[in-house]
């Protein structure tokens, strides 16, 4: 899809197609791109502007005196390194466990004989249809009772049960040829070996898709960490930024706020730009419940 053939160029700009290419293709695409990209560019530029260049009626596009002070100020207001570290731990540990659980559950559902398998699958399917917000209040009670408020495990634990990944991987595992596993079984390979040596490697693209969608979701997750933490040392980045905004919000100190927004947005943008093929397919299929 990324490579464009010379013939495409020739056809797109031929006399017959020129008007359609420009007015029907490029014009609306560029307009849409401008509307999408402009706010993000404005954010990035403002994060390097000193306060007088933001509190003005005549803003310039480029900072006249670019500065890193905004980032320094964010680090002074919320313990930035701690909050970043919390976000990284929650994202990495949470995603890793979720992906492993999804793989083993999907494997069991497809390749292990069990009498109540269809009941279990329906239970997973129904779980997929439960909006996570509906479980908020009881999960808050459970985690509080277990002493998990203001702890990283308290942030991670309730989200670990995974229906989305299980469902997506089950679909993929079902397409694998049965003889592939029969041969390994005759060679005496147990289930664990069959899973890690055969099923997982040939399903790597789907596993990557599930992993990336999970990672992005964990990094952006806001509502649950917001509820379960109120001590700044245990907050994740989005919750820390929410706090930053309530501290700075009234004073028009948008430079600081844009520096904070860059920190939460930029990592995902980079990952997305590099691996968009997996992420887009995961998000658009994943929506097909």
Partner 1 sequence: MPTTNPHRRRQRRRDALVFVAFAGPNLLLIAAFIYFPLLSNVYYSTLNWRMGATTATSAGLDNYVRLFTSPQGVEMWRVTITFTVVTVVASMVLGLLVALALNHRIPGVTAGRTAIFSPYVLSGVGVGMVWNFIFDPQLGLLGHVLRAFGARSPEWYLDSDLALVMVMIVYIWKNLGFCAVVFLAGLQSIPSDLIEAARIDRAGAVRRFFKLTLPLLSPTVFFLTVTTILSSMQAFDILKIMTPSGNGTNTIVFELFLQGFGPYQNAGYAAAISVVLFVVLFAITAFQLRFVEKRVHYA
Binding mask 95-134 for partner 1 (x = CB under 8 A): ------xx-xx-xxx--xxxx-x--x--xx--x-xxx-xx
Q: For partner 1, which is the closer residue by CB, 168 or 264? A: 264
SS3 177: coil
Please report, as residue ranges, which positions from 213 to 272 form the binding site for partner 1 (by CB under 8 A).
Answer: 216, 219-220, 222-223, 226-227, 238, 241-242, 245-246, 249, 252, 254, 257-258, 260-262, 264-265, 268-269, 272
What are the angstrom distances between the C-alpha of 39 and each of 17, 68, 100, 261?
A: 33, 20, 37, 12
Residues in the chain: 289
Largest Cα–Cα distance in the chain? 77
Please report, as residue ranges, which positions from 173 to 212 form the binding site for partner 1 (by CB under 8 A).
Answer: 191
Q: For partner 1, which is the closer residue by CB, 43 or 206? A: 43
Among 68, 137, 180, 183, binds partner 1 (CB under 8 A): 137
Q: For partner 1, which is the closer residue by CB, 97 or 202? A: 97
Of 168, 161, 177, residue with least CA distance to 207: 168
- From the CB of 18, what's the least distance to partner 1, in Å? 11
The neighbour count for residue 183, using CB atoms within 10 Å, is 12
Q: For partner 1, which is the closer residue by CB, 55 or 93? A: 55
For residue 147, state whether it binds partner 1 (rule: CB under 8 A): no
Return the structure tokens found at 17: 């197609």
For residue 153, state whether it binds partner 1 (rule: CB under 8 A): no
CB 224 within 8 A of CB 158: yes
Please tell me the distance from the alpha carbon of residue 140 to that of residue 71, in angstroms, as a whole number. 33
Please report, as residue ranges, which positions from 67 to 96 form the binding site for partner 1 (by CB under 8 A).
Answer: none
- From the CB of 13, what's the least distance to partner 1, in Å? 9
Please tell me the distance from the alpha carbon of residue 77 to that of residue 74, in angstroms, as a whole number. 5
């Amino acid at each position: 899809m990324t490579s464009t053939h010379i013939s495409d160029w020739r056809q797109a700009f031929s006399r017959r197609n020129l008007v359609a290419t420009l007015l029907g293709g490029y014009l609306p695409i560029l307009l849409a791109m401008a509307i999408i990209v402009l706010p993000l560019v404005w954010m990035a530029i403002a994060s390097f502007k000193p306060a007088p260049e933001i509190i003005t009626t005549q803003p310039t596009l480029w900072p006249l005196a670019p500065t890193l002070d905004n980032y320094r100020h964010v680090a002074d207001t919320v313990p930035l390194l701690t909050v970043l570290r919390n976000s990284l731990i929650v994202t990495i540990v949470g995603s890793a466990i979720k992906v492993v659980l999804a793989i083993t559950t999907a494997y069991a559902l497809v390749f292990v004989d069990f009498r109540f398998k269809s009941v279990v699958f329906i239970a997973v399917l129904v779980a997929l249809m439960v909006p996570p917000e509906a479980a908020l209040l009881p999960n808050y009670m459970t985690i509080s009772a277990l002493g998990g408020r203001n702890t990283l495990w308290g942030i991670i634990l309730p989200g670990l049960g995974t229906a989305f990944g299980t469902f997506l991987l089950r679909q993929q595992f079902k397409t694998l040829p049965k003889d592939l596993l029969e041969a390994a079984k005759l060679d005496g390979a147990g289930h664990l070996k069959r899973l890690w040596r055969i099923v997982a490697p040939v399903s790597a693209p789907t596993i990557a898709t599930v992993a990336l969608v999970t990672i992005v979701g964990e990094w952006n997750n806001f509502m649950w960490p917001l509820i379960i933490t109120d001590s700044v040392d245990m907050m994740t980045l989005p919750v820390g930024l929410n706090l930053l905004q309530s501290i700075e919000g009234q004073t028009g100190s948008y430079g600081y706020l844009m520096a904070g927004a860059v920190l939460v947005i930029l990592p995902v943008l980079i990952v997305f730009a590099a691996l968009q093929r997996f992420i887009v397919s995961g998000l658009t299929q994943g929506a097909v419940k």
